[in-house]
Structure 1
Amino acid sequence: MGQAMEALAKKLANTELPDTLEEVMAQTMKRPPLFSTWALVVIAFQGLIILGLLVLVLILWLKTRRGPSH
């Protein structure tokens, strides 16, 4: 990510544009983002579900391994 921004800054510096920041914003708005916020939300939600299932399986496995207490 840092290298891409450096290359973009060098390219903009070579073209001698007065408002480089606005040009960078315009180019980034035109290009579709790699991960949209919706995709990140879905990925985080799936991660939480998987973690919850792993914890549930771990608890059940420990209970059955310990044997019936009382």
Structure 2
Amino acid sequence: MGHYGGMHFIWWILGFIIFIFIFRKPFYSRYQKKQNPLDILKTRFANGELSKEKFEESKKIINADINLNP
């Protein structure tokens, strides 16, 4: 037969699965949306991690930093 009872086919499938597993992370991370600092701040405020005063203070700092570094 020469195919060792189908093991040749199994090794090709296993190699393909390993190949996909190794190279999938860089492709997925390339297309993920990156959050800007203001989005992160809004999320933390919505989750109740920040008070309204701290949110407003942090928002002013972030907006000032964005205006200084276009």
TM bucket normalised to smaller: 0.3 to 0.5
Q: Which has the higher contact order (CA 8 A, sep 6+)?
A: 2
TM-score of the superposed pair, with normalisation by structure 1:
0.37
TM-score of the superposed pair, with normalisation by structure 2:
0.37
